């Protein structure tokens, strides 16, 4: 069984630009049949031409075969956060990860997870865009 390094992330510890700038979440892997979709958060380039980037994945936490993707406690926290209109933020194998209920990622879940991230950092969801790979 593969052990993943998992630790909680506080939205207040994320870079300030996530709540201040236009942000895109860009998928680096496809959605089809995936419980984990790798991606990144990008901010528009400033006047100096430099943009900001943070790796950020999406994880559907209920996949159990061939092995569970998360422990029971983390899964319970993900479901609790979702019920409260929030998204669980974890560091999963050293990458910021938005954790959602379900066993497979979908376009709807991806959009909702990013919308809830915007809320967590105090930004309007209109400042966030999502680029998916099929």
Tell me how far apart the 2 most distant CA atoms of the chain are, in Å. 48
CA distance 134 to 18: 25
CA distance 82 to 21: 25
The whole-number pLDDT of residue 50 equals: 67
The whole-number pLDDT of residue 67 equals: 87
- Ordered per-residue pLDDT tens for the chain, 134 residues: 567 889 999 999 999 999 999 999 999 999 988 999 999 999 976 666 568 999 999 999 998 888 889 999 999 999 999 999 999 999 999 999 999 999 999 999 999 999 999 999 999 999 999 999 98
The whole-number pLDDT of residue 119 equals: 97
Q: What is the DSSP string of 83-95?
A: HTT--EEEEETTE
């Amino acid at each position: 069984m593969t052990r993943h390094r998992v630790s909680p992330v506080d939205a207040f510890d994320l870079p300030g630009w996530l709540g201040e700038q236009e942000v895109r979440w860009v998928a680096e892997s496809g959605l089809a049949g995936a419980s984990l979709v790798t991606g990144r958060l990008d901010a528009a380039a400033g006047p100096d031409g430099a943009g900001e980037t943070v790796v950020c994945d999406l994880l559907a936490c209920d996949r159990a075969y061939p092995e569970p993707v998360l422990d029971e406690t983390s899964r319970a926290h993900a479901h609790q956060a979702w019920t409260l209109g929030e998204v669980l933020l974890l560091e999963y194998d050293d990458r910021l990860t938005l954790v959602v209920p379900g066993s497979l990622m979908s376009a709807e879940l991806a959009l909702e997870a990013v919308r809830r991230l915007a809320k967590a950092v105090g930004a309007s969801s209109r400042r966030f865009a999502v680029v998916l790979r099929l």
